[in-house]
């Protein structure tokens, strides 16, 4: 039939797949690195294949933990009545958590939790801010283990606080059977309260922190890798788009500083709120 392509000239699925792979490999050879979940699972540096496997993410976590611990040790190793230098910065940092989180949410009675909540805030902030530090460029909180561990510790803390304050029976009853509700409604309400208080709280704490840090890393890699490829290796017609990608990369970097602080603040604020609710006299 006239106009009919020879069978051999019709691209098959296998041919298209091979062509796509060739294009991707060519782009990668030219310097473009498409962001993916693989970025969060780098190869092992030490102890590969064992329970003690140590990779780049663990190295970032270790560096930032040592950095924040060193800051506070130096700031308060020899405290003066009139603070100055590092001690002044340390007191400003701790005072922020006390005034803006504890006093606001829990009142003066909540200051006994200052060591825990201050440690929580600055640990998360340090893990988050690693995502924009040159040569680290990966948030220590962008893998699920860190947000999950912090969420589990928060879950244990607010439940233990509530049980110590009111006793196990009273604490569970007040959470699962809120007063002033018709008894038949408990059939529907109690499972919802159990799911909300004892299951969803640590899950939402984990997902909120993890998702924000993962998304930030993927966006930074996308724009800066795209800018590098477009400016250095792409056709000259595409180079102006490289400038736009670079500008977006710098904008996302500034935005990630805000997100790093905001996520540390929200996580700590919610933890304080859960503790205050567990200890509330309404129980």
Domain extents for the chain? 55-279
User: What is the reported pLDDT for 283?
Assistant: 53
Question: Structure tokens of 118?
Answer: 């201050």
| Distance from C-alpha of 69 to C-alpha of 224, rounded to nearest angstrom | 31
User: What is the reported pLDDT for 43?
Assistant: 86
> pLDDT band for position 208 (50/70/90)?
very high
Residue 1 has pLDDT above 50, yes or no: no
Residue 177 has pLDDT above 90, yes or no: no
Residue 48 has pLDDT above 60, yes or no: yes
Residue 260 has pLDDT above 60, yes or no: yes
Average pLDDT over residues 180-204: 89
Residue 233 · residue 31 · CB < 8 Å: yes
Average pLDDT over residues 149-164: 95
> pLDDT band for position 148 (50/70/90)?
very high
Question: Structure tokens of 207?
Answer: 């997902």
> pLDDT band for position 282 (50/70/90)?
low
Closest CA relative to residue 226, chosen from 9, 4, 35: 35
pTM to 2 decimal places: 0.82
Range of weakest confidence among 86-100, 209-223, 225-239: 225-239
Average pLDDT over residues 14-35: 50
Average pLDDT over residues 48-75: 91
Residue 36 has pLDDT above 80, yes or no: no
Widest distance between CA atoms in the chain: 97
């Amino acid at each position: 039939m006239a106009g009919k392509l020879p069978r051999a000239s019709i691209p098959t699925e296998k041919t298209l797949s091979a062509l796509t792979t060739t294009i991707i490999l060519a782009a990668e050879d030219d310097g473009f690195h498409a962001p993916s979940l693989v970025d969060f699972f780098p190869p092992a540096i030490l102890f590969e294949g064992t329970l003690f496997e140590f990779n780049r993410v663990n190295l970032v976590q270790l560096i930032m933990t040592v950095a924040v611990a060193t800051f506070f040790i130096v700031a308060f190793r020899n405290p003066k009545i009139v603070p100055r230098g590092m001690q002044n910065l340390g007191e400003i940092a701790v005072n922020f958590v006390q005034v803006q989180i504890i006093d606001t949410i829990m009142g003066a009675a909540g200051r006994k939790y200052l060591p825990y909540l201050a440690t929580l805030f600055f640990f998360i902030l340090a893990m988050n801010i690693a995502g924009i530090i040159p040569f680290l460029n990966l948030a220590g909180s962008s893998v699920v283990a860190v947000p999950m561990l912090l969420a589990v510790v928060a879950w244990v803390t607010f439940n233990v606080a509530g049980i110590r304050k009111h006793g196990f029976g009273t604490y569970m009853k007040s959470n699962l059977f809120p007063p002033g509700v018709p008894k038949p409604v408990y059939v529907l309400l109690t499972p919802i309260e159990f799911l909300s208080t004892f299951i969803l709280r640590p899950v939402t704490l984990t997902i909120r922190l993890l998702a924000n840090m993962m998304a930030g890393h993927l966006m930074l890699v996308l724009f800066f890798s795209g800018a590098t490829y477009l400016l250095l290796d792409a056709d000259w017609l595409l180079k102006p788009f490289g400038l736009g990608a670079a500008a977006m990369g710098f904008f996302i970097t500034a935005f990630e500083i805000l997100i790093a602080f905001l996520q540390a603040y929200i996580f700590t604020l919610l933890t304080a709120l859960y503790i205050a609710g567990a200890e509330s006299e309404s129980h």
